[in-house]
Structure 1
């Protein structure tokens, strides 16, 4: 059941019980008023009187809109309500965004007195506001909160809008397109979503490409938030070499990410934790997923989350994660997660509280936010973050083997030199790059590309390319102990992100290895 229908049910119960003061909290005044009117016009309440007060129109009959008072002031409306509560039973008066009622002031005490008067004669005062009510008022009755539309309700709004415009402009959306658009617009008010749809109609047609443009709209709607930033992707961010097992797993998860899971007990994929050797494609994978899945990429900067005051870091993380939910469907990239959630030497307890908050969100959020977390020093991560079920899978990204290095060299050679590498040269480079990370190969071929740019294609000689690779010293040579330590941890604790068969054949012991089993 959607929040809208839950609020309808609760408000109906409160009015039937003649609760003297009912708070309706919502930032969507028009939608909340539609809800209140829906409950008030129930045939069971045909003999009950309903009035509504707004600043612009004053006091009116809720059902017919007929003015009830010439005086448009709030004071006049409060006096009118007091008279009606004294003169008749079961009267209801709705006040829309009255004066500040968030603390103990004259207006709050006036409304409290009015609620007590209503209680004496089975009346009800309904306060529609987007701010909290003074606790002295809350104690006099009950309250409901109307959340923003969920995907199902947003789909109904979009469907109704498109139906009203069939025959007016060409509409090239299928039901699946409309449902995907609804998911993109979850997190914005219904009125804003309708305005966006109206803007699409003014172009003269509603096209399939417009669905993807809705992600850009959400960027503008929510703006910048400390700790959460939109990552703009370039044309090279779709390419990634090696990581065969990870890429196959992601193709399967993509189908689930876009599938209609209604009527099943399945939930959308939650995310993946990538650990392993620095420079081997963990961060690039987040960008590639965003591009291939056609979902916006947001980076959660845990350093920007940290505040100097008690509770500030937790509040910022909560705000960032809530915003990620409103931006769904999207990819949430947490780079080097161990730097923000390690907490081993944290005597304040902030890191532990952030971990708990993040894990609770990861477990309970129902929005389609796919988390890509990366870590170079997984040993410093808390054990509860690595437990099976937190992320959908834990992958170990190792140094590329010969086949992966050939794929990576071919990719970057074409990118920077703008031609296919000669087969003989490619074979030599694969051998010379033993122990190279993908970033080492990229750096070496970028230097080759600089040579071609400065001196022309005719200056490119095989021996220069070979010398460039020979003079590149990867981390596996400058700090072999660190790499060996990372590999010793990851090779028997996580699924290999590269070619499973190739990795298994290189093992020389009885250790057991987890592998991903694909159903297609």
Structure 2
């Protein structure tokens, strides 16, 4: 609060007569203003549409005969009194469509006297009309630091313990650190409510609570729309191969999570390659590996028939992702939204410009994972170093990786893996992608169930033999993609 009081004092000392504070924490704003007013022995009033003007602190009461619940009446009384006090108006923004109210605020804001009233408009959002915007100073309350967030979690744990006969909240240091990281971007009260929800259910804070916390924070920040929250993030144990990508991510996890000795934060990767080779699963696995929320940006959902709305949708989505930091932002098949088409009237180019600016200038800890099936459609400025950290090529899996993928999908369906000849299955699936291997296992399960048999090697081999993999159907395009990536990308496996 000390910094907030200091910032507000600087604004008032500059003799700005109209101050806007946007915050969800009205009580904290009022407490900050009250503390400063007491220090200065200055009278201050609050206003809302229910109670009207109420005097707080030192000084004489306003004229009690007038009903100041009406915003226009209250502003007119302030103008006539001319008292050098602070007037804090809570939720006055719905009335800013009145020309008389706007004019009264403008007259107060333009006061040139050395001693004059100061208006402070407070709400979660205060969109000022153009005639007032240049007369106002906007300040924001500071968000809680990591130390404050940790203290909030400890306070809620202590409160739960006191209510449960001294029983201690079960947790571990690593999980607590992740909880604190994922609480960043929330206000003090929001962080307190979220921490309380984590603890009150079972008296424990565990790794299983992190997805629940991330989803609750997502809903709290109202991010529904073109951004979606991915509840089920994969673990890298569920991703066959990609050893180079796994190593690269492991080396950068500590840096992304806020190593104070490192000034540069990992920015993101672009995964290009064959359809079904595991690019999307790898994107999900990044969030699972780092214990972060995963947001998926639907590029197709950005488009709007009205001019300018498409770009605004993207800006809003990126702003919301910044608010949820630290997180992973996944843009699947990015070329479909940024590749120019004849009739889009330049929308794709404007989208690209908005995205490039955010990629280059963002300071938030949002790790971008973009995937593409046709990299030749991507503009070169999107894939240069500085906007992304690395370009990875995801090829068809090798024999050993195919065996691992069979093991993963057989075990996922609770089949006895030891009864299958993984080497033979891997050999028979040469040229298959991970997605095609999974579908072969699914087909084998269906076939065995139809014949009332236990799933065996033969069922899987039969499913493989009846499948024409993409590497055969689109052999020419795959060869061209491999030739392109040979000297331009790092192999992910």
Mapped to 2, the partners of 1:296 and 1:144 lie a distance apart of: 31
Of 347, 350, 362 in structure 2, the residue corresponding to residue 365 of structure 1 is 362
Mapped to 2, the partners of 1:94 and 1:35 lie a distance apart of: 12
Query: How far 1:450 moved relative to its partner?
Result: 2.0
**Aligned residue number for residue 432 of structure 2:** 436
Q: Unmatched 5+ residue regions in structure 1?
A: 499-520
**Aligned residue number for residue 102 of structure 1:** 96
Query: How far 1:162 moved relative to its partner?
Result: 4.0
Matches within 5 A, 1:24-39: 24-39=21-36
* Contact 1:227/1:300 (8 A) holds in 2: yes
- Do structure 1's residue 62 and structure 2's residue 60 form an aligned pair? no
**Aligned residue number for residue 44 of structure 2:** 50
Of 492, 495, 499 in structure 1, the residue corresponding to residue 490 of structure 2 is 495
Deviations along 1:352-397, one digit per CA (max 9) or x if unpaired, are 1111211222233333322221111001001011101212211001
* Contact 2:244/2:492 (8 A) holds in 1: yes
- Do structure 1's residue 120 and structure 2's residue 113 form an aligned pair? yes
Q: Secondary structure at the residue paired with 1:120? A: coil
Matches within 5 A, 1:78-157: 78=75, 80-85=77-82, 90-98=84-92, 100=94, 102-103=96-97, 105-116=99-110, 119-129=112-122, 130-139=125-134, 141-146=135-140, 149=143, 151-152=145-146, 155=149
* Contact 1:396/1:490 (8 A) holds in 2: yes
* Contact 2:234/2:288 (8 A) holds in 1: no
Mapped to 1, the partners of 2:200 and 2:437 lie a distance apart of: 49
**Aligned residue number for residue 243 of structure 1:** 242
Query: How far 1:461 moved relative to its partner?
Result: 5.6
Mapped to 1, the partners of 2:58 and 2:191 lie a distance apart of: 28
Deviations along 1:445-476, one digit per CA (max 9) or x if unpaired, are 222222333334457364x5434333322122
**Aligned residue number for residue 503 of structure 1:** none
**Aligned residue number for residue 194 of structure 1:** 192
* Contact 2:272/2:375 (8 A) holds in 1: yes
Mapped to 2, the partners of 1:193 and 1:69 lie a distance apart of: 41
**Aligned residue number for residue 412 of structure 1:** 409
**Aligned residue number for residue 297 of structure 2:** 300
**Aligned residue number for residue 451 of structure 1:** 447
Mapped to 1, the partners of 2:414 and 2:117 lie a distance apart of: 76
Of 454, 475, 478 in structure 2, the residue corresponding to residue 480 of structure 1 is 475
- Do structure 1's residue 385 and structure 2's residue 379 form an aligned pair? no
Q: Secondary structure at the residue paired with 1:23? A: strand
Q: Secondary structure at the residue paired with 1:95? A: strand
**Aligned residue number for residue 513 of structure 1:** none
Q: Secondary structure at the residue paired with 1:137? A: helix
**Aligned residue number for residue 323 of structure 1:** 320
Number of equivalent positions: 483
Relative to structure 1, the CA distance from residue 66 to residue 211 in structure 2 (aligned partners, 3 Å threshold; closer, same or farther) is farther
RMSD over equivalenced CA pairs, Å: 3.4
Q: Unmatched 5+ residue regions in structure 2?
A: none
* Contact 1:24/1:146 (8 A) holds in 2: yes
Relative to structure 1, the CA distance from residue 106 to residue 174 in structure 2 (aligned partners, 3 Å threshold; closer, same or farther) is farther
Query: How far 1:484 moved relative to its partner?
Result: 0.3
Relative to structure 1, the CA distance from residue 428 to residue 66 in structure 2 (aligned partners, 3 Å threshold; closer, same or farther) is farther
Mapped to 2, the partners of 1:160 and 1:420 lie a distance apart of: 45
Mapped to 2, the partners of 1:173 and 1:329 lie a distance apart of: 21
- The normalised TM-score by structure 2 is 0.85
Matches within 5 A, 1:245-324: 245-257=244-256, 259-262=257-260, 264-267=262-265, 269-324=266-321
Relative to structure 1, the CA distance from residue 280 to residue 147 in structure 2 (aligned partners, 3 Å threshold; closer, same or farther) is farther
Mapped to 2, the partners of 1:262 and 1:174 lie a distance apart of: 22
- Do structure 1's residue 181 and structure 2's residue 171 form an aligned pair? no
Query: How far 1:318 moved relative to its partner?
Result: 1.2
- The normalised TM-score by structure 1 is 0.81
